[in-house]
Structure 1
């Protein structure tokens, strides 16, 4: 038996339902579609989103300084050699925080490395960080402009 058949096999006719006058309140007329209002609202939302993205990028976006860890070498006990690169404005110096952690995640070495001011915008540097314990990682936390 399918859904469109009754128990005796007949196919039911489509019945038009009519409600008693005034019993369920006034039936609403279908509302008009307003494509102009929808388009204006959509454009306003997109413009507001783009303005918010621009403001947040200006406030919290990429600084002129950026750093990237290239390698770390922990083959010598008591120290870790951290190699990293810094992109900075030409003629300005920078300071970078480097650290090392052990297997438990505890900090076992920390230093602030000064990058001298010169005309280059890309500096690759290697720093030997003394540590107290077994090295698991060597990291560059962040860099900022030197005073």
Structure 2
């Protein structure tokens, strides 16, 4: 038994272990850390993300028309009354996509509703949507400026 072994043959944690040269391949030296390269790469990724987000906003733009569902009434068979409000620029018209779905989630009614151009910026509408089945919802998918 050597000095660095215990009675059961284990090497204590404090012992410096050295392996014979050539037996396990050559050991690589630890790589040098390069914080400058990491910082430049991180800044590049962040800059690319900001540029991509800016380009997407420029390409898709901001929609000047917004909508909000106020209520729907599916108590009458074969139709759903959808009440919603639309915020739009004064003097501009809009178009809104309205739909209804059944309990299984299948679309059973869809229409594009024209919102007339007038001087108001807020318009409240009720549209009676014909459906083909038992309606469970009335939804306003989205609104956009009329052409």
TM-score, normalised relative to structure 2: 0.73
1:82-112, CA deviations, whole angstroms, 9 ceiling, x for partnerless residues?
0112222332101112122333444443332
Partner of 1:51: 51
Partner of 1:63: 63
Distance apart, 1:19 and its partner CA? 4.0
The CA distance in 2 between the partners of 1:13 and 1:42, in whole Å, is 39
Partner of 1:16: 16
Q: What secondary structure does 2:141 align onto?
A: strand
- What is the number of equivalent residue pairs in this alignment? 143
Partner of 1:81: 81
Distance apart, 1:56 and its partner CA? 2.4
Structure 2 unaligned segments of length 5 or more: list them.
none
1:103-132, CA deviations, whole angstroms, 9 ceiling, x for partnerless residues?
344444333211011233332211122334
* CA RMSD across the alignment: 3.1
Q: What secondary structure does 1:137 align onto?
A: coil
Distance apart, 1:25 and its partner CA? 5.8
The CA distance in 2 between the partners of 1:25 and 1:36, in whole Å, is 32
Partner of 1:111: 111
Distance apart, 1:32 and its partner CA? 3.1
Structure 1 unaligned segments of length 5 or more: list them.
none
TM-score, normalised relative to structure 1: 0.73
Structure 1 pair 146/6, CA: closer, same or farther in 2 (3 Å)?
same
The CA distance in 1 between the partners of 2:57 and 2:112, in whole Å, is 28
Is the 2:63–2:144 contact (alpha carbons within 8 Å) kept by the matching residues of 1? no
Is the 2:94–2:144 contact (alpha carbons within 8 Å) kept by the matching residues of 1? yes
Partner of 1:36: 36
